[in-house]
Structure 1
Amino acid sequence: MARFPVRCFTIAFAGWLALSGLAACGSINRNSAIAQPPPATPSPTMSPTPAVNPQLIAADNQFGFKLFSQLIQQDSEQNLMMSPTSVAIALSMLYNGASGETQQQIATTLELHGMSLEDLNQANADLKNLLENADPQVKLAIANSLWGNQEVAFKPDFIQRIQTFYDAEVETLDFTNPSVVNRINDWVDRNTEGKIPTILDEVRPDDILFLINAVYFKGEWQQAFDQANTSDRPFTLPDGSTKNHPLMSQSGNYLYQETDEFQAVSLPYGEGRLSMYVFLPQADVPLTQFSQELLSADNWDTAMTRFTRRDGTVELPRFKYEYATRLNDALKALGMPMAFDPDVADLTGLTDQDSFVNEVRHKTFIEVNEEGTEAAAVTSIGIRATSVQIPTEPFVMTVDRPFFYAIRDNESGAILFMGSVVNPE
């Protein structure tokens, strides 16, 4: 096969759940190299409350725990946060443009286990619709966009699928213009309500594509914490030292469980469809050990069946932090190294231009306080040419040492965000 000139293909993905809804940032330049796709791809079938293929939920959650495990191995000394939904949607869009063994490796990494491309795309369309309509009291939205280099011709059927199933805004730009990076970052900033202002540091003339997904979430607790009950308390850091930090406190009736390894509680938002699950390892179980041994998809599913109603008191630290990481090594370790190799990557499903994934970035933000939670995530994929028996007495759960949390849709089981806090800020 003849080799084309070496160019750079970057896919940027921003995972976010939006407070104010989606803002359009552009349309196709009809004189650009992205051809208008034919109306051949069927429209996704969606209802106001779509039933999401449970195979996708299981795959996304399993992929999420594997990726989180990789991240905590790389750096267990800082607060971590990622959005499995965000990264999985980004890689699903990339999957649409991959072919051959490269595509197979992405499928293995995403735990798709025989799902067809059509099934995957329809399930992602259903998931977006379901999550955005999950709870009228929770502000949640998902946005996708595609930014192409006007000098590169992309496959019309790839563009069609990304528009149809991922509701992506599509625009082509002159990548030699220095203002392009600001244009894309402005889209990310708007679609994360200003919580993640940038995803790209630069756009190079040899970049050929950015795929952006944004997820933004804002929910108020079903039972708010009374600020009068918040007080500075010692929080134990991983090295055994302590720092004083505000711990919020409330009492009530919760979904709760306790084992020899951890305490866990579900704190619902709004009407209760979405919840934050807080897992506190027992004092003699390090967070890294807890994450590696207990936080797998199978163990998570088992834990979700063992919550029971119980009166108790929850003491939870306020926290607010940002997290940014490069996912290249983690994704290679999870089974998709070919996509990053300029000599073997096969992305011919999106363009005849020889290309490879150059970089995958992920940025997240979260703030938890007495009123509720605000969170956002951004993932950027860059492609460069050649992504027990329960006691009845009230419990006390004092989260005063490193812990794990996840924000989950209780109907579908989808995990929107997961993270660990070793040092609340």
Structure 2
Amino acid sequence: MRLRRCTSPCLIAAIAVFATACAGSGTGPDNAAADSLTALPRALTAAERLAITASNDFALRLLQRTTAHETGNVLLSPLSVSLALGMTMNGAADETLSEMQRTLGWGATNRAAINVAYRDLMTMLPSLDPSVTVRLANGIWMLRPMVPDAAFTSEARQFFNAPVTSEASPRAMFDAVNAWGDRETRGMIPKVLRDEPPRDLVMLLANAVYFAGTWRERFDPAKTSPGSFQLEGGATAVVPMMTREGGFRSWRDDRLVAVELPYGNAAYSMLVLMPTKDPVGSFVATLDTARLAQVSQGLRAARGDERLRFPKFTLEGSLELSPDLRALGMPRAFTNGAQFPRLVANESTKLSFVQHNVKVEVDEKGTRAAAVTVVGVVLVSLPLGVDIDRPFLFLIRERLSGTVLFTGVVRNPLGR
């Protein structure tokens, strides 16, 4: 079942919380204070650059796909989805592996390089800005007495820091992942898996991302007041609007207004893109990395008296992403033809679901955001067969005319 839930009248699209490493040049504030990060503390490794390119490519394509068929708010953590599927991809082979690599933006990159890239990116992101909290966690849960593939679990621990836990039943697996996700997101996502687990569930692979950052220059709560927000279709909603002067960067042309709000020491920021003439869905459908770079590189510091009004909101969303991932290019992973020889020892498996829950809170102090992505793995269904193993009637007949030549009732094929 495909679900989505969002709890705000605001339509928020193409809001990105990102590191300077992921956004290219032009992300640090002009005339920055001494504690502002205007460059990365070191040069990116080749693996990190590879991971960022793949992650951003996947981010835009996943956003475009989900926005195309959703009419309300869309919330995603493409990093969380990429990490959960990247960990799962280590168990794939042949066409299934190729489809997952292409879908996640890796192209023909080999497995070893992908693992290093994920590991280095997960090491870098939490360490960039000590004034911002970024937590990344991975885990694997197995149904007892199933045994995970030894090479797969070794790489999961080495590159994704993902421990493997055994549980006695599918329900116990769901409960364990829900408790883990609640803990890793500090209560923001208390329950990611709400439906009944598949009876043939044998493995869950999960990622959690938690972000907490205070604005580099906070909004004054005394200046927050009701304001109009124009909805698609022409109606308006009254929402709490935060207000401040200066402390942000902006960019505009005849079709787009962009605002960047830095957190902490400015390694992380929120980039807001608001199309002024096109529906937001149409804008997202054409957004690419070149356009994003154009905006990022053109941002300029606002004057001290330049006003910004921005909605205060709390949104949460839930999506089962398997239809989108199929459409993006990895359908085989969800079929009986899936090739996952390195997931569960001596068992044929396929993906059943990719559940993705996100919550974002934006107020005068800053932003908290969390996501949990869970990949469900089930046994490949055996081909349907027919067993004639009970008493039966038979008819020998001429098929075209229907003429019956013999009939019989067989209660015991041994003739006794």
Same fold, TM-score > 0.5, yes or no: yes
Cα contact 1:49–1:130 (8 A) shared by 2: no
Q: Aligned equivalents of 2:135 and 2:328: distance in 1?
A: 28
Question: Which of these residues, 83, 96, 113, is aligned with residue 119 of structure 1?
Answer: 113
- Unpaired stretches in structure 1, ≥5 consecutive residues: 1-16, 18-46, 387-425
Contact 1:101 1:346 in 2 (8 A): yes
Q: Say whether 1:236 aligns with 2:230.
A: yes
Pick closer, same or farther for the CA change 1:168–1:48 going to 2, 3 Å.
Answer: farther
* Other-structure match for 1:78: 72
- Alpha-carbon separation, structure 2, partners of 1:330 and 1:345: 17
Deviation at 1:50?
6.8
Q: Is the 8 A contact 2:142 2:173 kept in 1?
A: no
| Matches for 1:34-113 after TM superposition, within 5 Å | 51=45, 53-75=48-70, 77-113=71-107
From 211, 216, 221, the equivalent of 1:222 is: 216
Residue 302 of structure 2 corresponds to residue 310 of structure 1: yes
C-alpha distance in structure 1 between counterparts of 2:143 and 2:237, whole Å? 50
* One-letter code aligned to 1:299: R
> Does the 8 Å contact 2:141/2:173 carry over to 1?
no
Task: Spell out, residue by residue over 1:155-177, the C-alpha distance to the aligned partner (whole angstroms, 9 max, x if none).
Answer: 1110000001101121111116x
Q: The residue matched to 1:248 in structure 2 has which SS?
A: strand
Within 2, Cα distance between the matches of 1:366 and 1:58? 24
Q: Is the 8 A contact 1:347 1:355 kept in 2?
A: yes
Which residue identity does 1:196 align to in structure 2?
Answer: I
CA shift, 1:204, in A, is 4.6
The offset of 1:53, in angstroms, is: 2.3
Q: How does 1:136-285 map to 2 (within 5 A)?
A: 136-175=130-169, 178-201=171-194, 202-282=196-276, 284-285=277-278
Separation (CA, whole Å) in 2 of partners of 1:216 and 1:58: 21
C-alpha distance in 1, partners of 2:126/2:51?
Answer: 17
User: Structure with the greater relative contact order (CA < 8 A, sep ≥ 6): 1 or 2?
Assistant: 1
**Structure 2 residue identity aligned to 1:339:** A
Deviation of the 1:64 alpha carbon: 0.8
Counterpart-to-counterpart distance in 1, 2:324 and 2:176: 29
Q: Report the equivalent of 2:385.
A: none
- Per the TM alignment, residue 253 of structure 1 is displaced from its structure 2 partner at its CA by 4.6
Instruction: Give the unaligned 5+ runs of structure 2.
Output: 1-16, 18-40, 381-416
Alignment check: 8 A CA contact 1:359 1:381 kept:
yes
Cα deviation, 1:129-148, whole Å, max 9, x if unaligned, reads 11111211111110001101
The one-letter amino acid paired with 1:298 is A
* Paired amino acid for 2:231: L
Tell me whether 1:289 sits opposite 2:282 in the alignment.
yes
Q: What aligned pairs does 1:397-412 form with structure 2 within 5 A after superposition?
A: none
1:48–1:129 Cα contact (<8 Å) kept: no
Q: Does 1:133 align with 2:122?
A: no
The one-letter code sitting in structure 1 at the alignment partner of 2:68 is Q
Deviation track 1:353-403 (CA, whole Å, cap 9, x = no partner) reads 1111111111100010000000001112222222xxxxxxxxxxxxxxxxx
Q: Aligned partners of 2:42, 2:105: CA distance in 1, in Å?
A: 27
Measured against aligned partners, the alpha-carbon deviations of 1:18-69 in whole angstroms (never above 9, x if no partner) come to xxxxxxxxxxxxxxxxxxxxxxxxxxxxx99974521211111111110111
Find the partner of 1:335 among 324, 329, 341. 329
Matches of 1:183 and 1:349, distance apart in 2: 23
159 and 172 in structure 1: CA distance in 2 versus 1, 3 angstrom threshold: same
Q: Which of the two has higher C-alpha Rg? A: 2
| Contact kept in structure 2, 1:49 and 1:133, CA below 8 Å | no
In the aligned structure 2, how far is the partner of 1:113 from the partner of 1:183? 34
CA distance in 2, matches of 1:353, 1:322: 36
The 1:79/1:66 distance shift into structure 2, 3 A limit, reads same
Q: 1:297 to 1:50 in 2, by over 3 A?
A: closer
Name 2:8's counterpart in structure 1: none
Q: What residue is the counterpart of 1:405 in the other structure?
A: none
Contact 2:247 2:261 in 1 (8 A): no
Q: Which of 285, 295, 320 in structure 2 is aligned with 1:326? A: 320
SS at match of 2:356: strand
Paired position in structure 2 for 1:421: none
d(CA) in 2 for partners of 1:378, 1:317 = 25
- Give the Cα–Cα distance (whole angstroms) in 1 for the partners of residues 290 and 142 of structure 2: 39
So what's the TM-score if we normalise by structure 1?
A: 0.76
Q: Assess if the C-alpha contact under 8 Å between 2:143 and 2:201 holds in 1.
A: yes
Q: Name the aligned partner's letter for residue 179 of structure 2.
A: D
Report the counterpart of residue 31 of structure 1 in structure 2: none
Q: How far did residue 200 of structure 1 move? A: 1.9
Residue identity opposite 2:202 in structure 1: I
Corresponding letter in the other structure for 1:296: D
- In 2, Cα distance between equivalents of 1:50 and 1:173: 40
Q: Offset of 1:254 from its aligned partner?
A: 3.0
In 2, Cα distance between the equivalents of 1:130 and 1:350? 27
CA distance, structure 2, for counterparts of residue 94 and residue 243 of structure 1: 42
From 379, 382, 396, the equivalent of 1:385 is 379
